[in-house]
Each structure stands twice: as structure tokens, then as C-alpha cells.
Structure 1
């Protein structure tokens, strides 16, 4: 079973729809990819990916919020899924997971 989920381009406000499994948990939509995360395109099997990379208007039709067709801006944006490592939910946007820390807070 799949569901249709809609995401708004953070650059231009166009809306893209994607068919996906209902059990995937969304974390965020960002204008840049998260470091170290693997992204699939909307037409690939993204069940094992960390998110989806969209190219606004180039991956399929986009609409405005009311559902009227519009042209997308062609810029990339990223849907980030909730990620887990060894059963622990990972926070978005760290430079590495489990690597050295350089915050020097004493």
C-alpha cells in the first residue's frame, strides 16, 4: 500500500507529489542535503535511502497550493527521513555520526 504525499519547494512554493510507503517518517525539507545522507530520486526505490532529492518541476508535474499546474523553479530540495543508527534517532545536520567532536567545551 502506498500513499500520495505532497511537499512544498522551499525556493518557490511549488508543490510536488510523490507515492511512497506510509510508514516512512519525515524529518524535514531543506534546501541543502544533510552531510553523509544518501538521497534517491523520486522515481527510484527510496525505501532504503535517507531521503529524496527533488528537482522542482523536473521530476514531474508541480502545482500551486490549490492544485493548479505551475512551472517549478528547477532548483534542488531535499526531503529528509528520520534516521536511526543502532536504534537511536539521529539528529539532522551533524558533520559526522560517532566521529570526533571539535566543540572544545570544557
Structure 2
């Protein structure tokens, strides 16, 4: 069983759709790839083994505006990041993609 899930490009707000398993847990959509994460393409058959999906806006299939009208994408990459686990513990993205800015100051 698959479901159609829509994602919005963080660069230009174009919307793309992906057919995927309903049990994959999304964490975030980011402009940059998470360091060390393995990304599949939207048409890969085995999305479950990837850490997320790498999109190229407008090149991975048709895109629409927020109202559903067909448009051209901006051609820039963006990334869907899945929730990841290691030994049953949820891993945080590096850097975290939520909670506002992160400032790590060393003395």
C-alpha cells in the first residue's frame, strides 16, 4: 500500500508529490542535506532503507503552486529527512532542523 504525500520546495514554494509507504516518518524538509545521511531519489523503489529523499525542484516530476496550478520548479535541490533510529534511540539531525537558531560557543 502506498500513499501520495506532497512536499513544498523551501526555495520557491513549488509543491511536488511522491508515492511512498505510509509508515515512513518525516522529520523535516531542508535546503541542505544532513551530514552523513543517505538520500534516495523520489523514484527509488526502496525508500525505506534511505535516511530521506533528495529532490531537485521541477526535475523529479511535475510541480504545482500551492493552489494546484502547474508551474516550473526552480531547479534547486532540497531534502526530505526521515526520522532515524539507532539501537532504538531516535537520532537528532546535525544540526537540529527545529527549535530556532542554534549557537554553539566555545571558550
Shorter-normalised TM-score: what interval? 0.7 to 0.9
Q: TM-score, normalised by structure 2?
A: 0.87
How far the C-alpha of 1:72 sits from its partner, in A, is 0.1
Q: Which has the larger radius of gyration?
A: 1
| Mapping of residues 47-66 of structure 1, within 5 Å | 47-66=48-67
Identify the residue that residue 25 of structure 1 maps to in structure 2.
25
Q: TM-score, normalised by structure 1?
A: 0.88
Cα distance in structure 2, aligned partners of 1:75 and 1:67:
20
Cα distance in structure 2, aligned partners of 1:27 and 1:7:
12
Identify the residue that residue 16 of structure 1 maps to in structure 2.
16
How far the C-alpha of 1:93 sits from its partner, in A, is 1.2
Name segments (4+ residues, structure 1) moved above 2 Å: none
Cα distance in structure 2, aligned partners of 1:93 and 1:23:
23
Structure 2 spans left out of the alignment, 5+ residues: 96-104
Instruction: Give the match's secondary structure for 1:47.
Output: helix
Cα RMSD (Å) of the superposition?
A: 1.4
Identify the residue that residue 39 of structure 1 maps to in structure 2.
39
Cα distance in structure 2, aligned partners of 1:92 and 1:61:
29
Structure 1 spans left out of the alignment, 5+ residues: 95-102
Q: Deviations over 1:26-85 (max 9, x none)?
A: 000000000010000001121100000000000000000111100000000000000000
How far the C-alpha of 1:104 sits from its partner, in A, is 6.9
